[in-house]
Amino acid sequence: MENKKQKIAILVIDMLNEYLDPKGKVYCEKCREIIPKIQKLISFARDKGFHVVYVNTSLLSDKEPISKKWGLHAARGTWGSEVVPELKPQNGDFIIFKRTYNGFYNSELEITLRSLGVGIVVPVGIHTHVCVLLTAVGAFERGFKLIALEDCMTTGYQPNHDSRLRFFKTHIGELMTLGEFINKHKND
């Protein structure tokens, strides 16, 4: 029987104007630091034929749970809900809208990944301790293999980031750097 390599999808989570542009309603200056690393990852992924899937907060009203907690932001169809220009989706990429912290909950993420034959997901983006973590847990609970890139995710509060990195490594998947990931998959 042939041993096929599992297909990989990069999940680019919440790299939106609302969070990463100083004009955004919930701007995180520190979170901009990972943009160059994610640019490099996306370029590598596209060159290797890995899938690039943007998982974007896209809220519809101020009645939603996230809106009740943080105010209406990243409203669907607005500038705030668009991916920052440095990471702009290209033809062949996928965009999934989410309305909760977990990108799998009530979205098309799982069916999209399954239809693409994806077996390995690589979540990157913001915020390590909330949307990235809960989307990663959602992937793990659905049987996807998980590779977390510690230098391609961040949050505004370093202790939250650090504690969640330990959780990625000990509970739900592999933890490595972007360089280690590229080295591991350069011959795929």
Smallest CA-to-CA distance from 138 within 173, 178, 180 is with 173
The C-alpha atoms of residue 143 and residue 152 are separated, in whole angstroms, by 22
Instruction: Measure CA of the first residue to CA of the last residue in the chain; give whole Å.
Output: 19
**Alpha-carbon radius of gyration of the chain:** 16
Using pLDDT thresholds of 50, 70 and 90, give the confidence band for residue 1: very low
Which of 97-106, 134-143, 148-157, 164-173 is predicted with the least confidence, judged by mean pLDDT?
A: 164-173
CATH code for the domain in which residue 22 is found = 3.40.50.850
2 assigned to some structural domain:
no
Residue 1 within a domain: no
Q: How many residues are listed for the chain in this entry?
A: 188
Beta pairing partners, 131: none
Tokens read off for 107: 């979205």
Q: pTM here?
A: 0.94
What are φ and ψ of residue 125, in 5° steps?
A: 125, -150
Tens of pLDDT, residue by residue over 76-105, are 999 999 999 999 999 999 999 999 999 999
64: CB partners within 8 A, 6+ apart: 99
The strand pair at 145-149 and 51-57 is best described as: unpaired
* Residue 61: inside a domain: yes
Question: Distance between CA 66 and CA 62 in Å, rounded?
Answer: 8
Amino acid 3: pLDDT: 44
pLDDT bucket at 4, cuts 50 / 70 / 90 = low
Q: Encoding tokens for residue 180?
A: 């280690």
User: Residue 142 and residue 110: Cα distance in Å, rounded?
Assistant: 8
- Assess if residue 96 is contained within a domain: yes
Task: Give bridge partners of residue 118 from the DSSP assignment.
Answer: 7
pLDDT at 13 over 80: yes
Number of domains in the chain: 1
- Quote the mean pLDDT of the chain: 94
Residue 182 in contact with residue 152, Cβ under 8 Å?
no
Domain range for 180 is 7-185
